């Protein structure tokens, strides 16, 4: 973790008509709280399921596997992970997971899962971009990382920066019509609202765009141990150790607080906590990744599952999500100093 020039990560706010479009939809469609979405969840995770995710690694004490349909699909891939503890204001025990669509034909954008580690119930919602006229479209990006702070979700947009969503504007299509429309359509058609069959849509409300080109946003995290709290994002680089990570003070103003060269290839997630950095390193779809722990006096390498992605800290544990079919889990391992 070598300090580097932070200027390439400078962001500029680019709200445009996003807030107006989201407000237009929210004026027509009734919003639901995070707690309501969890109570209305229509899928069930499996405690300690899909153990193949851990490959040669000894399984941790706790993990949650997505259901059979979400394990089997080759259309959707989980990428980003954050939790209610990152938010600091959400009165619910919840994980949020972003997924991107890898289409055989057509596009379905990105979605986010609301998952309760208490009930194991979860539900997907579609992330959309709304227009001032009340129309809306899918968001066709990778969504490699997500972070929650207050009511805002920050989603990584690889070459552009960060897309922002307001969790007070999770909109319930059932509040304005008796069914969920055509599962093959999105937007307004013949007087009805459609969202590829999803009940809930979450419109983008804001955007932070890179002031110059060059930096990449592959993952996102939050550090609530800094003063002020910080937002973290960094770069996945396939074949080199030149990937960087940057932090911004929250509330976000776009000016980076600091930046570092990661010094490792294939980093899929990074968070800092109490002066220690945790890096999630991928290998392949069949080989275990690694957790790299940098406390400033050297790097400790720990075992990690196959296909580890974004990182978040919750309680005394570091959590991540794995992406490959039949190996899709949310799992937690101990942070430094948290015991065996």
Q: DSSP class of residue 340?
A: -
What are 145-182's pLDDT values in tens digits?
Answer: 999 999 999 999 999 999 999 999 999 999 999 899 89
Distance CA 336, CA 318 (A): 9
* Beta bridge partner(s), residue 24: none
* pLDDT, position 339: 44
What are 321-338's pLDDT values in tens digits?
Answer: 999 999 999 999 999 865
Distance CA 338, CA 182 (A): 49
What does the block give as tokens for 235?
A: 């770069």
Cα–Cα distances in Å, from 1 out to 180, 259, 295, 297?
Answer: 48, 9, 10, 11
What are 200-256's pLDDT values in tens digits?
Answer: 999 999 999 999 989 999 999 999 999 999 999 999 999 999 999 999 999 999 999
8 A C-beta contact, residue 306 and residue 322: yes
| Residue 340 belongs to a domain | no
Residue 28 CB contacts under 8 Å (≥ 6 apart), including other chains: 134, 176
* Beta bridge partner(s), residue 256: 248
| Residue 273 belongs to a domain | yes
Angle value at C-alpha 15, between 162 and 221, nearest 5 degrees:
20
Q: Which domain holds residue 306?
A: 2-334
Dihedral angle sign, alpha carbons of residues 90, 92, 95, 100: negative
Nearest to 238 by CA among 218, 259, 213: 218
338 in the Ramachandran plot: left (φ > 0), alpha (ψ -120 to 50) or beta?
alpha
| Residue 291 belongs to a domain | yes
Cα–Cα distances in Å, from 5 out to 48, 257, 288?
Answer: 43, 11, 32
What does the block give as tokens for 234?
A: 């960094």
| Residue 137 belongs to a domain | yes
Helices (H), 2-139: 18-28, 34-39, 68-72, 84-87
Mean of pLDDT over the chain: 95
| Residue 160 belongs to a domain | yes
* pLDDT, position 297: 85
8 A C-beta contact, residue 148 and residue 82: yes
What does the block give as tokens for 224?
A: 């609530």
Distance CA 255, CA 268 (A): 23
If you average pLDDT over residues 53-68, what whole number do you get? 96
Q: Minimum mean pLDDT among 7-11, 89-93, 278-282: which range?
A: 89-93
pLDDT band at residue 191, thresholds of 50, 70 and 90?
A: confident
- Number of compact structural domains in the chain: 1
What does the block give as tokens for 325?
A: 């079919």
């Amino acid at each position: 973790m070598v300090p580097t020039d932070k200027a390439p990560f400078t962001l500029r706010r680019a709200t445009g008509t996003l807030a107006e479009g989201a407000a237009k939809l929210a004026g027509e469609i009734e919003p639901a709280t995070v707690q309501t979405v969890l109570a209305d969840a229509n899928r069930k995770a499996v405690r300690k399921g899909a153990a193949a995710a851990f490959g040669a690694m000894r399984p941790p004490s706790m993990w949650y596997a997505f259901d059979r349909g979400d394990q089997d699909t080759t259309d959707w891939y989980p990428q980003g992970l954050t939790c209610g503890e990152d938010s600091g204001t959400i009165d619910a025990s919840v994980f949020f997971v972003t997924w991107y669509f890898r289409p055989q034909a057509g596009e379905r954008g990105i979605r986010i899962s609301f998952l309760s580690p208490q009930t194991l119930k979860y539900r997907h919602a579609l992330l959309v971009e709304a227009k001032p006229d009340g129309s809306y479209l899918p968001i066709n990006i990778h969504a490699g990382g997500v972070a929650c702070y207050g009511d805002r979700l920050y989603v990584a947009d690889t070459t552009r920066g960060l897309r922002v969503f307001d969790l007070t504007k999770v909109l319930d299509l059932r509040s304005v019509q008796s069914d969920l429309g055509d599962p093959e359509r999105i937007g307004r058609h013949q007087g009805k609202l459609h969202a590829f069959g999803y009940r809930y849509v979450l419109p983008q409300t804001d955007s932070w765009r890179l002031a110059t080109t060059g930096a990449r946003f592959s993952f996102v995290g939050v550090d609530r141990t800094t003063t002020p709290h910080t937002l973290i994002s960094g770069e996945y680089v396939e074949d080199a150790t030149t990937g960087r990570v940057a932090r911004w003070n929250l509330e976000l103003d776009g000016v980076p607080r600091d930046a570092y060269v990661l010094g490792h290839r294939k980093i899929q997630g990074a968070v800092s906590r109490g002066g220690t950095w945790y890096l999630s390193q991928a290998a392949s779809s069949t080989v275990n990744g690694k957790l790299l722990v940098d406390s400033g006096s050297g790097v400790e390498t720990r075992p990690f599952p196959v296909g580890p992605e974004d990182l978040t800290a919750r309680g005394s544990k570091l959590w991540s999500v794995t992406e490959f079919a039949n190996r899709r889990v949310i799992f937690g391992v101990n942070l430094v100093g948290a015991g065996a």
